[in-house]
Each structure stands twice: as C-alpha cells, then as structure tokens.
Amino acid sequence: MVLLEFSMSPLGKSESVGKYVARSLDVIDKSGVPYRLNPMGTVLEGEWEQVFAVVQKCYERMKKDCNRISCTIKVDYRKNHSGRLQSKVASIEKKLKRSIKQ
C-alpha cells in the first residue's frame, strides 16, 4: 500500500487558490480513495496505480483553465500494510500515552 501526499495549485491566478484546491478535493472525495486533507496538502492511501490516477484526474481538471500548475508529491510504500492514515497517528499517540491534535 502507498501513502501519497500531494499539493497542487495553479500559478499566476491570484494570491488565493482555494477555489482550485476545492475542485481537486471534489475529485478526490468522489474517487472513493481514503484521504486526509491537511493545511499544506492531501494524503491519499491505496495502491500505486489508484492514488496516481486520482492525482492525474486532479491535474486534468486543473489544466482546463490553468496555464501553469505547481505540484509536489511524496510517496511512502509499505508492503502488506493498509490503514496507515489512522495507524501512523495511533502509533505516536501510544508512544506519548495521550491523544494529539489533528
């Protein structure tokens, strides 16, 4: 299974790009892939082909009206492990012996 964190935004549109990020989140949410939104990007969990297909759809949607796009992608593969969106946080909470802010 893969955890893929990415951030995609248009360049040259304006200082605020929330409407473009919202369109990507609509694509992500409708994909059915487990995800977590954070202030600097979105983390997807699934098989390699599955998570990259979601990124591709976000890109295809954004390029319809954006002439320049910036995207960063970070990938963590771990064989035979799923549910890491929750388990990675739970592991830290166990070590701290308390809940953390999310």
Q: What is the pLDDT of residues 13-64, one digit of tens each?
A: 888 899 999 999 999 999 999 999 999 999 999 999 999 999 999 999 999 9
Note whether residue 84 is domain-resident: yes
Note whether residue 59 is domain-resident: yes
Report residue 81 as tokens.
């492990």
Note whether residue 102 is domain-resident: no
Return the closest-CA partner of residue 10 out of 22, 26, 27: 22
Could you give the number of structural domains in the chain? 1
Residues 6+ apart with CB under 8 A from 63: 69
CB atoms within 10 A of CB 62: 20
Domain that holds residue 27: 2-96
Rounded to two decimals, what is the model's pTM? 0.89
Residue 100: its pLDDT value, please?
Answer: 86
pLDDT in tens, 5-14: 999 999 998 8
Residue 73: its pLDDT value, please?
Answer: 98
Note whether residue 39 is domain-resident: yes
Asked if 69 and 4 count as a contact pair (C-beta separation under 8 A), the reply is: no
Note whether residue 101 is domain-resident: no
Beta strands 41-46 and 2-10: pairing type? antiparallel
- The mean per-residue pLDDT over the stretch 58-78 comes to 96
